[in-house]
Amino acid sequence: MTNDPNRLPETNWGAWQSRPFHRQYLMTQANRLFDFFEASSLNPKGGFFELSDDGQPLSPENGLRQVHVTTRMIHCATIGSLIGRPGSDEIVDHGMRYLWEKHRDQRNGGYVWSLDDDGYVDDSKQAYGHAFVLLAGASAKLVGHPLADQVIADVTEVIEQRFWDKKIGAVREEFGNDWRQISTYRGQNSNMHLTEALMAAYEATGETEYLRKATKIADLIIHRNAAKLDYRVAEHFHEDWSLDKDYLGSEMFRPSGTTPGHALEWSRLLFQLFVLCRKEHSWMTESARGLFRQAIDLGWDKVHGGFFYTLDWNNQPIMREKLWWPVAEAIGAAAYIGAYDHDDYYQRWYRKLWDFAENHVIDRERGGWHSELTEQLVPTSRLFVGKPDLYHALQACLIPLYPVTGSLTHGIIEADHPKRL
């Protein structure tokens, strides 16, 4: 036995991820998330509804379809298909057809941000949205969807020709419908999600250019910026990629200051990239550990629990609300890094994070996860209305169950068909 608070007791040392009960718990949580989101989200006119707290369509008469919602549902339904959840393939097909036939701008190219039954609502072309289009296409390819190759080829060309900045090794942020420049803003959030998508595209196609681009982005955002900022991830940049600490924009997609949740998300993605790059870049794992620990040290509320949404550059909370997705990303990161390091630190935090999710974030009464809590952990809706999607929470449930040899979808396929990869 030990009294060291940083060590697990010998009587309870083994990783939860290897315990049959915990594995059953995780799959049960994943299935409940599918139950909450899948059927209620399906819009019979195409695409997907966004849901209220009790799982009803927010705008049933004429629902808004945002491209990241469409594509995340495609990705999650692909995961459902890969693990054997009935009904998932039809949802993939439903989403892919809406993505290709409606979100895709057949006149000017690219994918518009949002539309409803009457047409485009926001017809801008966002790097963030295109990252998720690539992720959806790569995921759909794994289940053999007939539109997957078309979507991958199309969005890859758009990213290359319109968004990718070869001199910098990252993407420009946003354009109008006719590809006029909207702003000179540069952001890490879209580039982070593109890193995720590029890795998925590499796994789906075997084309190394995707992996090269992912490495370029990670080098810029983390190796050349976050590492020099004590492993705090800078969110906002000027056109020349100099840091913009004073930027104010959408707190949902471009949060002020620093965001502990993004550091946690990057920590897992960096470990994943390290593995896919044949473990050639040791800075990736060093940075992944630094990001995780710094996000815990600075972002975790030591009084009430949960991660403050944003911090200023003096490491003080700006938005004190606790969102669901940083907890989900922290779980995935703790599971991924802990599988390699076998360090009590990551296992202790993995357990602590699931304790917090179970006691405060999971909505037992209505289903899904509460999207937002106050500082005192009371459900609220300052930033988010309803329950946005199942993407973050679903991956938190399933990443711990599968080999950490790439993305979650890669791990699922490896577990089922180890000789095919």
Task: Assess if residue 268 is contained within a domain.
Answer: yes
Q: Is residue 122, in this structure, part of any structural domain at all? A: yes
Look at residue 2 and tell me whether its pLDDT is greater than 60: no
Whether the per-residue pLDDT at 53 is higher than 80: the answer is: yes
Query: Which pair of structure tokens corresponds to residue 314?
Result: 């003096």
Predicted confidence band at 37 (pLDDT cuts at 50, 70, 90)? very high
For 291, the domain range is 18-416
Q: How many angstroms separate the CA atoms of 227 and 223, rounded?
A: 5
Residue 151 Cα distances to 50, 201, 341, 384, angstroms: 23, 11, 37, 30
Size (the chain), residues:
421
Distance from C-alpha of 171 to C-alpha of 197, rounded to nearest angstrom: 13
pLDDT (average), residues 285-314:
98
pTM, 2 dp:
0.97
**Is it the case that residue 151 has pLDDT exceeding 70?**
yes
Residue 1 pLDDT exceeds 50: no
Q: How far apart are CA 85 and CA 398, in angstroms?
A: 13
Active-site residue flag, 360:
no
* 3: in domain: no
So what's the pLDDT on residue 72? 98
Average pLDDT over residues 121-147: 98
Catalytic residue among 94, 103, 145, 262: 262
How high is the mean pLDDT of the chain?
96
In a domain, 266, yes or no: yes
Residue 120: DSSP 8-state:
E
Give the pLDDT of residue 416.
86
Q: What's the average model confidence in pLDDT over 402-413? A: 97
The total number of structural domains in the chain stands at 1
**Domain annotation covers residue 10:** no
Specify the CATH number for the domain of residue 282: 1.50.10.10
Mean pLDDT of 290-299: 98
- 262 tagged catalytic: yes
pLDDT for the residue numbered 10: 86
User: Is residue 12 in some structural domain?
Assistant: no
Residue 269 confidence (pLDDT) above 60:
yes
pLDDT of residue 418: 61
234 contacts 255 by C-beta, under 8 angstroms: no
Percentage with pLDDT > 90 across the chain: 94
Q: How confident is the model at residue 419 (pLDDT cuts 50, 70, 90)?
A: low
Does the residue 2 lie in any domain?
no
Beta strand 114-116 with 119-122 is antiparallel
Res 7: pLDDT: 85
What is the arithmetic mean of pLDDT over 151-161?
A: 98
9 in any annotated domain? no
pLDDT > 60? residue 344: yes
Separation between Cα atoms, residue 396 and residue 38, nearest integer Å: 17
pLDDT at 56: 97
3 state DSSP class of 125: strand
- From the list 193, 236, 360, 392, the catalytic residue is 392
For the stretch 203-227, pLDDT in tens is: 999 999 999 999 999 999 999 999 9
Measure CA 39 to chain center.
Answer: 22
Across residues 355-383, what is the average pLDDT?
97
